[in-house]
Amino acid sequence: MPGYDPTFWELPFDPGDLDALPEVVLDAPAEPRDPAAERARREVLAGIAEIVRSGLTDKQRRIVELYFYDGRTQVEIAAELGISQQVVSRQLFGVIRGGRRVGGAIARMRKLCDQNGWDPAGWIS
């Protein structure tokens, strides 16, 4: 099972930014950024970290942390948590029902970002 697959990521931002989420401490960028854009970026990162902490179920949160923060594969996560790889996939990405994707941590995170008016595309350089 391959690791990160960008076709599954539904939030339009660099997954490398997730490294900053647990502490929301960002190193100085190589190139100077616009202070307003950097402030907005930090606010959104802090908001997404809060969504991961409080907007997901415990199982979804743990799977998101292992998948995106630790870079584990779905198979590795399944083995660690004692569940099937299919359950890991459903927890992350939901399932297709009636031609629509339903559920999943990523969809929940996207919905909560939308509710907060966050468009990560606006702060990505």
The domains located in the chain, with CATH, are 16-24+35-119 (1.10.10.10)
What confidence score (pLDDT) does residue 82 get?
Answer: 96
Tens-digit pLDDT profile for residues 67-118: 988 999 999 999 999 999 999 999 999 988 888 888 899 888 888 888 888 8
The pLDDT value recorded for residue 25 is 47
Distance CA(83)–CA(90), nearest Å, equals 11
Phi, psi of 43 (to 5 degrees): -65, -45
- Three-state DSSP state, 11: coil
Closest CA to 112 of 51, 44, 50, 41: 51
pLDDT of residue 77: 95
How confident is the model over 11-47, as pLDDT tens digits? 455 556 655 555 544 455 556 678 887 887 788 888 8
Q: Give residue 64's pLDDT band: very low, low, confident or very high (50, 70, 90).
A: very high
